[in-house]
């Protein structure tokens, strides 16, 4: 359900304990936004402005950054075009490194197999089972289907390492067939899902469940800090923190929202308004907090109304464009969660891209119809999560949100 995300480099914390892992994140377009959306604009940009897809970003934290306190480590998230966030893990003995999207909208771990026959696998790192002494073949097959793409593979078990945390015999998928162009252009190798086990296609415990079992984490919690490029010449990245939160990265207090259905990180949203006037969710609606989706998505009819209210113009390629000269006059969009207002300005919800020497401004909202027993679902993706620090608490089955503390 989302957009395309990119490579993540892995940073090891210098903590003496095993309780907290800091993961630096690099940004790139989310996989599920790419798969479930048309993605035509990105094909258009790749064809006419290929340099945009070779941008390099700097790290927010130097390698070897110590963890926040005893028993914690973290990884950096790297950013690509304000769209994907990815980091590094290792599988096998000896270790084989892979860049993966840390995706709260899915629950499976998969990487390409050395036996994969698709073009996508040829341009990414592939797992070589025959080189790992700790590898165990599962024997079952799996398939994961996205809106405009899918992959097939076989299941396996091997040692997973993330910084100083490890999981023996982690179930994961080795993809052997990745048709189409979606995975070819992706900067990540695979996906590491962080949703509830109920959402898993691959049988067995998801990675975070196993981390809670095999590692003495401070808390059964992980949190994301995402940032935007905003025209900066330096890398703009973020981090995933396993085992707790980093109070230096947000301004309190935290708004806690109970999970309503333990599959996605699904919460109740009180309403959505534009400049405080038009309610798009008048009686409340369900929303997914999803790091694997680049945009903010909602029911198509309501998103079309929202696009009109912010002055976005539809195009033949399925994207909505906004006049860049009008950004300062565009209305605020407010999401009401737990009785508290979370407001986005135009600078927050408009994506900027360069096409040759021309700046393009695109709406950060997207229509996707997802039906659930609770009604149509909204998706609070990265456009929302760059503004707000997000905390995922498995111990209390709740999501926490607080304004992210970005540098001036």
pLDDT digits (tens, 9 = 90+) for 348-358: 999 888 777 78
- Does one domain contain both 261 and 395? yes
Residue ending a domain, among 189, 224, 259, is 224
- Does one domain contain both 205 and 252? no
| One-character DSSP codes across 341-394 | EEEE-HHHHEEEEEETTEEEEEESEEE---EETTEEEEEE-HHHHTTEEEEEET
Q: What pLDDT does 68 receive?
A: 30
Q: What pLDDT does 294 receive?
A: 86
Q: Tell me: pLDDT of 284 over 60.
A: yes
pTM: 0.83
Sign of the four-CA dihedral 159, 119, 87, 254: negative
User: Among residues of the chain, what percentage have pLDDT more than 70?
Assistant: 78
| Mean pLDDT across 121-144 | 92
Q: Please tell me the least confidently modeled range out of 53-62, 334-343, 382-391.
A: 53-62
Residue 77 lies in a domain: yes
- Does one domain contain both 156 and 27? yes
Q: Please tell me the least confidently modeled range out of 96-100, 241-245, 318-322.
A: 318-322
Per-residue pLDDT band at 318 (split at 50, 70, 90): confident
Distance in angstroms (rounded) separating the CA atoms of residues 189 and 171: 17
For position 155, which CATH number holds?
2.40.70.10
Q: What is the span of the domain harbouring residue 186? A: 3-224
Residue 231 lies in a domain: no
Q: Please tell me the least confidently modeled range out of 35-44, 266-275, 327-336.
A: 35-44
- Active-site residues, by number, are 103, 290
| Mean pLDDT across 164-191 | 88
- Does one domain contain both 34 and 146? yes
In 290-330, where do the E strands start and end?
A: 296-298, 313-314, 320-321
Q: Is 308 exposed, middle or buried (0-12, 13-18, 19+ CB in 10 A)?
A: middle
Domain count, the chain: 2
| Mean pLDDT across 303-330 | 91
- Does one domain contain both 199 and 302? no
More confident residue, 41 or 184: 184
- Does one domain contain both 290 and 383? yes
Q: What pLDDT does 189 receive?
A: 93
- Does one domain contain both 156 and 264? no
Q: Tell me: pLDDT of 84 over 70.
A: no
- Does one domain contain both 182 and 282? no
- Does one domain contain both 159 and 33? yes
């Amino acid at each position: 359900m989302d957009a395309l995300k990119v490579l993540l480099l892995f940073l090891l914390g210098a903590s003496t304990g095993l309780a907290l892992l800091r993961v630096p994140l690099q940004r790139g377009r989310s996989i599920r936004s790419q798969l479930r959306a048309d993605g035509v604009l990105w094909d258009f940009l790749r064809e006419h402005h290929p340099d945009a897809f070779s941008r390099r970003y700097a790290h927010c934290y130097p390698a070897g950054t110590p963890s926040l306190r005893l028993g914690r480590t973290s990884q950096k998230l790297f950013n690509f075009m304000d769209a994907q966030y990815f980091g590094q893990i290792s599988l096998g003995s000896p270790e084989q490194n892979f860049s993966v999207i840390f995706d709260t909208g899915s629950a499976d771990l998969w990487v390409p197999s050395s036996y994969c026959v698709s073009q996508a696998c040829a341009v990414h790192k592939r797992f070589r089972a025959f080189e790992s002494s700790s590898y165990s073949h599962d024997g079952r097959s799996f398939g994961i289907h996205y809106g405009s793409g899918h992959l097939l593979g076989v299941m396996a078990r091997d040692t997973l390492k993330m910084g100083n945390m490890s999981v023996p015999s982690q179930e994961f998928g080795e993809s052997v067939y990745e048709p189409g162009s979606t995975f070819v252009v992706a900067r990540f190798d695979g996906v590491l899902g962080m949703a509830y086990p109920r959402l898993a296609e691959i049988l067995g415990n998801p990675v975070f469940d196993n981390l809670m079992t095999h590692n003495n984490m401070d808390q059964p919690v992980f949190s994301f800090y995402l940032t935007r490029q905003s025209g900066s010449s330096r890398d703009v990245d973020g981090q995933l923190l396993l085992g707790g939160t980093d109070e230096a990265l947000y301004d309190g207090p935290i708004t806690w929202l109970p999970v309503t259905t333990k599959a996605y990180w699904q919460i109740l949203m009180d309403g959505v308004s534009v400049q405080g006037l038009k309610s798009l969710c008048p009686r409340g609606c369900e929303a997914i907090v999803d790091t694997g989706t680049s945009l903010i998505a909602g029911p198509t009819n309501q998103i079309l109304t929202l696009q009109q209210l912010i002055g976005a113009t539809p195009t033949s390629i399925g994207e909505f464009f906004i006049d860049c000269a009008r950004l300062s006059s565009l209305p605020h969009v407010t999401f009401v969660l737990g009785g508290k207002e979370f407001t986005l300005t135009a600078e927050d919800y408009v994506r900027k891209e360069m096409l040759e020497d021309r700046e393009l401004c695109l709406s950060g909202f997207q229509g996707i119809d997802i039906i659930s027993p609770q009604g149509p679902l909204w998706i609070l993706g990265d456009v929302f999560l760059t503004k707000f620090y997000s905390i995922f608490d498995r111990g209390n089955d709740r999501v926490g949100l607080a304004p992210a503390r970005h540098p001036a």
